[in-house]
Amino acid sequence: MKEQSRIDVIDQIIDEIISELPLKERTGIANMNKEDAEILQRTFDLYVRRKIGSKTEDDEYSDIMNELWERLRETHRLRVVK
């Protein structure tokens, strides 16, 4: 049950972040390579701590940036159209 609520919280945070990001930033993140996206992890760690509270464990939500990057790659990645 705890794992499911953690997944729900991560999904909710990602949805909120995506809704607040301008289109240009969403496509920018979607087109980053994985190493560049991982650099943004610290920023999202700070965001999550503020949003959820400082009582969360450091590793508990450490995959948010990766999840955000993966979701944006599915929906906002620039593709060549012929």
Among 56-60, 61-65, 66-70, where is mean pLDDT lowest? 56-60
pLDDT at 1: 45
Q: What is the 3-state secondary structure (H, E, C) of the chain?
A: CHHHHHHHHHHHHHHHHHHHCCHHHHHHHHCCCHHHHHHCHHHHHHHHHHHHCCCCCCCCCCCHHHHHHHHHHHHCCCCCCC
pLDDT(58) > 60: no
CA 71, CA 52: separation in Å to the nearest integer?
21
pTM above 0.85, yes or no: no
